[in-house]
Every structure is written in C-alpha cells, then in structure tokens.
Amino acid sequence: MKTYDKFLKYYDEIVRGINSPLDDEVAFLSKDVIEEYKENSKTILETACGTWTVAAEFQKWGYQVTGLDISENMLKKAKGNMKKDSELILGDMTDFDLEKTFDVVLCNYNSICHLLKWEDWQKFFACASKHLEKDGLLVFDINTLYEFDNITRDFAQFYTFWEDNVCLEMFKKNGIYEWLVKIYEKAEDGRFDLTTEVVQENSFPISKIEKELKEQWFKLLEKVDYHYGEVTAQSERVYFIAKKK
C-alpha cells in the first residue's frame, strides 16, 4: 500500500488549505451530520486520520478523537499537529480491532478511495460496524467515478510553495486512478531537483456502495453531494451517513 510520502511536506497546504477548507467541512460534519443524527455523540474514531487536521477541529468542538492511519509519516505529522493529547494508532482500516466502540466512525476526504479493491471496502465496512455503538454513525465520503474521470480528462494542478513547484496529474491505468505527483525543489545551485510519487485511488458506483451498506451492516440515513446537496450522476464528492443496524 502506497500513500503520500514526498508529497506530505505540501499536503496540509494543498489539500486542506486550498482544495477543501477545513472550517466548512468540520462545521458540516459536526452540525449537519453528527448533531443531526446522533446528538449526544462524544467519541469519534477517525480512520485514515492523516495529519490530524480534521481531528484537531473536532477536538475544539469537544469530541474525544482517536486516530488511525496506515502511514507512519502521516502519524508523525499528526503528532506534531496535535494540541491536545489523544490516541494515535498505526493500522490498516480494512483490518483492525481496537476492542472498543465509538459513537462515530469517520473516514474523511475520500480516504476510502485509497482502498483499491471492492473487498477492502467491504472489510472496512465490517471493521467500522464492529467499532460502533448500537445506532452509532458511519460517515465517509468518496470521490465519485464521475469526478475521477473528470480529473483524469481535464486538467493538471500546479502549486508553488516557497521556491518549490508541485504538479498533480491523474491518469487511469488498468481501471485504477493514479495521481502522478511531480515535485520540483529548488536546489542551492538554483536548479530544480525533480522527484515523483504515484498514489493510486479507486471508486465504485454510488448504487453499489448504497446496496452494500444496506444489505450488510447499516441503515443508510442520507447521502449528500457535498457541493450541491442532492446527489446526481454529476456529483463529484458524496458523503454517506449510515447508522449501525
């Protein structure tokens, strides 16, 4: 499994600063999702917690957050971003057993799309269910196939940080979407050193995910297009909010 490594240096600025500002996202998750569907929630397990940026906001809202991520480097950065002590677990979200339950299991910012095989999505749903209180909430979002196909077809993203330049492009290879990250770092002699990194992602049809959730572990409470509300064939980012059966 390959996640961000070299790109990590720019991750918070690009992903959480520019692409999807945190305040809006955490306000949506706290108010419109958790308070709406499980009002007295206190504990959150954030799977694929990354650099702790989302978890830190939840801590400000008073939640007790436990983080799990497969990347040691992400967790190191998470520890650095942590203002209030909390539990961080190095683990795979398709296969973990913490021997406790939570009010909410969250997998945010299309992190589930890092699971390339459908069986791994199923394993994640099973693990999430096992770690939820009765009536506990599973909340996750996906980049839709429509969105990945758009990104693949349409554009490259360019960012400048300090004196470095970062270029992100997506390609589809053998049915899997691959981010090609190119980093041009300015060296002391004024020239730029290029390093590259590939991170793979995948997605599945909304109807397939919905069917799996309903058939196996959960009652689906809502699915929401993060940008427009109503989910359509052109939705780019969709949140699923499900309650443990």
Specify the 3-state DSSP secondary structure of 60: helix
Do residues 128 and 137 touch, judged by C-beta distance below 8 A?
no
Residue nearest to ligand SAM (CB): 50
210-to-213, 223, 239 alpha-carbon distances in Å: 5, 9, 11
CA nearest neighbour of 45 among 104, 119, 123? 104
**How far apart, in whole angstroms, are the C-alpha atoms of residue 176 and residue 193?**
28
Closer by beta carbon to ligand SAM, 41 or else 71: 71
Residues 6+ apart with CB under 8 A from 156: 167, 168, 169
CA nearest neighbour of 89 among 141, 57, 146, 48? 48
Closer by beta carbon to ligand SAM, 49 or else 238: 49
Do residues 232 and 205 touch, judged by C-beta distance below 8 A?
no
Closer by beta carbon to ligand SAM, 70 or else 231: 70
User: What's the min distance (Å) between Cβ of 210 and ligand SAM?
Assistant: 22
User: What's the min distance (Å) between Cβ of 51 and ligand SAM?
Assistant: 7
Closer by beta carbon to ligand SAM, 53 or else 235: 53
Closer by beta carbon to ligand SAM, 1 or else 156: 1
Name the site residues for ligand SAM (rule: CB under 6 A).
1, 3, 16, 47-50, 53-54, 69-71, 74, 92-94, 108-109, 111, 114-115
User: What's the min distance (Å) between Cβ of 155 and ligand SAM?
Assistant: 19
User: What's the min distance (Å) between Cβ of 89 and ligand SAM?
Assistant: 9
User: What's the min distance (Å) between Cβ of 189 and ligand SAM?
Assistant: 34
Closer by beta carbon to ligand SAM, 171 or else 192: 171
Do residues 219 and 23 touch, judged by C-beta distance below 8 A?
no
User: What's the min distance (Å) between Cβ of 201 and ligand SAM?
Assistant: 9
